[in-house]
Amino acid sequence: MMDEREDLVEDLLAEYAIQLSIQESNGTKPPVSSSYNDSFVPPSEENRKIMTSIKQGQVFGLQELVRHKYALDEADERGWFPLHEAAAQPIQQILEIILDASYKTMWEYKTCDGETPLTLAAKAGFAENVRTLLEKGVWPNTTNDKGETPLLIAVRRGSFEMASTLIKHNSSIHQPCVKRWSAMHEAAKQGRKDIVALLLKNGGNVNLKDGYGITPLGVAAEYGHCDVLEHLIHKGGDVQALADDGASILFEAAGGGNPDCIALLLEYGGSGNVPNKAGLLPIHKAAYEGHYMALKYLIPVTSKTSIRKSGLSPIHSAADGQNSQCLELLIENGFDVNTLMAEHISNSYDDERKTALYFAVSNNDILCTEILLKAGADPNKDPLNCLLVAVRAGNHEIVRLLLSYGANVNCYFMLVNDTHFPSAVQYALNDEVMLRLLLNHGYNVEMCFDCMHQDVFGNSFVWPTPEEEILPGWTSSVIKDNPFCDFIAVPWLKHLAGKVVRIFIDYMDYVPLCTKIKFILETQTEWTEIRQIM
């Protein structure tokens, strides 16, 4: 029998040593408050011996050392007293020795990071230590500095035994942490139906709200725990409850994505037509998160009127979330790929985007872009044309797709830059492949040589040489209808002029170079070849 007990002690110590090793290797030492550190007095030799004996599981040596009671009232640099160390190790007899030898006033002492002996025991998962502390009279409701009760910690550890022990010793079931997160919420999050039942049996409130107005029912729905969800409903959980942001329980379930939870909520009266305060419906949430099966349940129970009132199609949500399967499902069910976002939503974006296609293109999502275009998406509906977004991102494949489905290669975006020439080329000056891609699809290159520096007969006007370099970020022209020669003449772009013009002339029968651009080209290596071609 003695051998078995010694083996058990050795096993517990080995497990404890492994825990310490993992903590040290991950650098998980608790922070030390500066005020404590400044006034820190090194502990006595006896205290260090006691701490060592606790860590090494030396029961007999410890019985001798605890006669030095003053050493039990000394803490190390972490603010840990011997009682903290004893609570966080696995040998119950060691905890009993230290607890019996310590003054009762020390039972609630906190470490530098705000943990009590009881919260440390609960965090370590040592159920017998928790029982020992409670049976000796340690108060069960003292929180750590995060406001977490021992019961909340025990539930988070998933320990039915610790939770049951704490409740038997009058632990408060409804006492929340700083964020009003209770043991009931935690049990619902962990999917522990047994602990939820235990809490409810002992007076737990099924409709208790956390700091965001979410009930345990909403938590179970969000984390997809269908058995817990059903149990809470049977115990009086309000399926119609709304969080502070207006999110329904079904909305939370849509975010979690468990189709069984959604089916259950619909069975008990949940509605797919209840928007949150932002106007979003459960169908939007499921589409954005990419929960295909959840979306299949929500499509038939969501009215077109509710979707229209929201100002946003689930097509937008699926494209925004880059979820191609959900996008295809919505298209198969008749959702229009060209539905525009409501003006108030569009205006909340700096680019004033309107279409689902814009989301796909701005995400560099080739697959969703192709799905939308094949379904008939118009690439020319947004204030900032999708083509310009793709060209600027340097995404050749999306540019090819857009051009093949009718994107306007000669589009302008006047809010950004009032150029005389179509806008796309300015984002492709340093990318020959992109530049030729645009030119091959009908880019109006002649507009790049249409300027005020020459008359109708092609004779150039004389223009003054600037006396000093203009500042970076500013053009040399005050004309809003900015010609290409002025655009390319700025100091940070003019080194590209030769290469760009050389590409341009491959797509022109006649190249009318004005004096200004000719002046720039004459200083560049491509000028000889350009002159020969002309």
pLDDT band at 456 (very low <50, low <70, confident <90, very high): very low
Structure confidence by residue, pLDDT tens digits, 312-329: 999 999 999 999 999 999
The DSSP string of 335-393 is: --TTPPPPHHHHTTSTT---SHHHHHHHTT-HHHHHHHHHTT--TT-SSS-HHHHHHHH
Distance of CA 53 to the CA centre of its chain: 45
Q: Which residues contact 223 (CB under 8 A, 6 or more apart)?
A: 188, 189, 191, 256
The answer to pTM > 0.85 is no
Closest CA to 421 of 404, 406, 403, 443: 443
pLDDT band at 487 (very low <50, low <70, confident <90, very high): confident
- 429 closest CA partner among 363, 479, 493: 493
**Could you report the per-residue pLDDT of 6-42, keeping only the tens digit for each?**
555 455 555 555 455 444 444 444 433 434 455 678 9
Domains of the chain, first to last: 1-143+160-171 (1.25.40.20), 173-310 (1.25.40.20), 311-408 (1.25.40.20), 413-534 (no CATH)
Report which of 130, 81, 131, 80 is spatially closest to residue 102, judged by C-alpha positions.
Answer: 81
Lowest mean pLDDT among 228-232, 286-290, 301-305, 478-482: 478-482
Q: Which residues, in sequence order, are CB contacts of 379 under 8 Å at separation 6+?
A: 357, 373, 385, 386, 387, 402, 405, 406, 407, 408
Instruction: Tell me the C-alpha distance between 287 and 291, whole Å.
Output: 6
Q: Provide the pLDDT for residue 10.
A: 58
| Cα angle 241-243-249, degrees, rounded to a multiple of 5 | 50
Place of tokens 């011996």: 49
Residue 463 pLDDT exceeds 50? no
pLDDT band at 467 (very low <50, low <70, confident <90, very high): very low
Give the tens place of pLDDT for each residue, 351-361: 999 999 999 99
CB 377 within 8 A of CB 391: no
pLDDT over 90 at 494, yes or no:
no
Q: What percent of the chain has pLDDT over 70?
A: 86
How large is the average pLDDT for residues 453-461? 49
Average pLDDT over residues 280-297: 98
Q: Is the Cβ–Cβ distance between 335 and 376 less than 8 Å?
A: no
Bridge partners of 419, per DSSP, are 482
CA distance linking residue 111 with residue 77, whole number of Å: 10
**pLDDT tens across 33-73, in order?**
434 455 678 999 999 999 999 999 999 999 999 999 999 99
How is residue 382 written in tokens?
């947004």
pLDDT in tens, 123-177: 999 999 999 999 999 999 999 999 999 999 999 999 999 999 999 999 999 888 8
Question: What is the SS3 assignment for 259?
Answer: helix
Residue 286 or 17, more confident: 286
Residues recorded for the chain: 534
Residue 474: is its pLDDT beyond 50?
Answer: no
- Measured from the Cβ of residue 113, the count of other Cβ atoms closer than 10 Å reads 16
Please give the Cα distance from 205 to 194 (Å, whole number). 15
Distance of CA 48 to the CA centre of its chain: 45
Q: So what's the pLDDT on residue 507? A: 87
The label of the residue with tokens 């966080």 reads 88
Per-residue tokens: 415: 């809010």
Element (H, E) at 397: helix 396-404
- 479 has a pLDDT exceeding 90: no
Angle ∠(109,114,119) on CA atoms, nearest 5? 75
Q: What is the pLDDT of residue 35?
A: 40
Q: What is the pLDDT of residue 509?
A: 80
Q: How many Cα atoms sit within 13 Å of 70 on the Cβ side?
A: 4
- 108-121 average pLDDT score: 96
The answer to whether residue 470 scores a pLDDT higher than 70 is no
Residues 6+ apart with CB under 8 A from 474: 490
Looking from the CA of 381 toward its CB, the CA atoms found within 13 Å total 18
Average pLDDT for the chain = 88
Collapse the DSSP code of 297 into the 3-class scheme (helix H, G, I; strand E, B; otherwise coil) and give the result.
Answer: helix
Burial 146-159 (b: 16+ CB within 10 A, else e): eebbbbbbbbbbbb
Q: What is the pLDDT of residue 468?
A: 42
